[in-house]
Amino acid sequence: MDRECVSCCSIAMHSREPEYVFRVLAESGYRKVDLLGRMPHFDINDREYEFGRVVWAAEAHGIAIANIGSYCGGDFASDDPDKRLAAVADTWAVIDAAASCGARSIRTRPGQREEPRLLERVADCFKRAAEQAEKQGVYMGIENHGGAISGNPELCAELFDKVGSEYAGVLYEPCNLMLAGVDYKQAFEVMKGHITHCHIKDGYEIDGKLQSVWLGTGAIDFRWVLANLEAIGYRGDYALEYELDIEPAETAVGKWLSWFLKL
């Protein structure tokens, strides 16, 4: 595994200031960050937030922003057309922010009401957002969080078939799919034409609940994930997502990187 293809989700230190996070990542051997779309890491709608300073801090530590894990697109399913237009504009703004710092991709949402009956409405918003994404060369991806759309591989594929842009697709998350009761390998086959980004964590399911575990000790076959993504020409990053409390992130994220690089 090439170190240049691996990033770390800043959610591991979500309450710490960006500069602190970037220093820890650099000292742990990372060269890229998957920036959480929540203060203090990223929120372009917060008047006190200065994205330029965050980008500068990342660069000062030799860290590139690979993906912005934003939450735009929440109103893509709204009944109010003005709210849908505003959601598209907000998504354009995040795309522009990503382009300004060289990030390859952003995370989006398929509407806060993940209702399959609203698929056409959501697709129309994604088509508008994709116009800017294509201009800027920034990929969008909805994370497989387990919602009625995001946790349904067939609906994910149908949605982005309708959108018809390579810049709009799915953030493939095998562990989240497993939690939703979905076979992540079968899901890959269904969605493989629309995968724009990938998050990596491990776990196993007990009574419908995800038990997160140390990378490599759960049910996810990472060699299979990597081999199949590489086989379809995936060019995005593998974002390691540490969300455990068994060890401080400051020491754990480096161990996760070391383990993953040996695959």
Chain-centroid distance, C-alpha 22? 18
Spatial distance between the Cα atoms of 170 and 150, rounded to a whole number of angstroms: 8
- Phi/psi for 255 (5° steps) reads -65, -40
> Which percentage of the chain shows pLDDT scores above 70?
100
Looking at residue 85, its pLDDT comes to 98
Looking at residue 211, its pLDDT comes to 87
Q: Is 164 left (phi over 0), alpha (psi -120 to 50) or beta?
A: left
Helices of type H across the chain: 18-28, 51-60, 81-101, 119-136, 153-163, 174-179, 184-191, 222-231, 249-261
pLDDT reading at 236 higher than 80: yes
Amino acid type, 85? L
Chain-centroid distance, C-alpha 12? 14
Tell how many helices (H) and how many strands (E) occur in the chain: 9, 10
pLDDT reading at 244 higher than 90: yes
Q: Do the beta carbons of residue 51 and residue 44 sit within 8 Å?
A: yes
Residues whose CB falls within 8 Å of the CB of residue 21, separated by 6 or more in sequence, listed in order: 10, 12, 13, 33, 41
> How far is CA 78 from each of CA 86, 90, 111, 149, 162, rounded to the nearest angstrom?
11, 14, 7, 15, 18
Name the 3-class secondary structure at 137. Answer: coil
pLDDT reading at 168 higher than 90: yes
Mean pLDDT of the chain: 96
Looking at residue 113, its pLDDT comes to 84
pLDDT reading at 208 higher than 90: no
> How would residue 127 be classed by pLDDT, with cut points 50, 70 and 90?
very high
Q: Domain tally for the chain?
A: 1
Looking at residue 210, its pLDDT comes to 78
Task: Find the mean pLDDT for residues 225-251.
Answer: 97
> How would residue 179 be classed by pLDDT, with cut points 50, 70 and 90?
confident
pLDDT reading at 35 higher than 90: yes
Task: Find the mean pLDDT for residues 165-184.
Answer: 95
> How far is CA 83 from each of CA 25, 45, 78, 105, 125, rounded to the nearest angstrom?
37, 15, 7, 24, 11
pTM: 0.96
The CATH number given to whatever domain includes residue 187 is 3.20.20.150
Domain of residue 118, residue span: 3-261
pLDDT reading at 1 higher than 80: no
- Phi/psi for 72 (5° steps) reads -70, 160
Spatial distance between the Cα atoms of 97 and 103, rounded to a whole number of angstroms: 8
> How would residue 54 be classed by pLDDT, with cut points 50, 70 and 90?
very high
Neighbours of 103 (CB within 10 A): 25
Looking at residue 209, its pLDDT comes to 78
Q: Is 254 left (phi over 0), alpha (psi -120 to 50) or beta?
A: alpha
Looking at residue 60, its pLDDT comes to 98
Residue 34, H or E segment: strand 32-36
pLDDT tens digits for range 2-15: 889 999 999 999 99
140: β partners: 106, 168
pLDDT reading at 155 higher than 90: yes
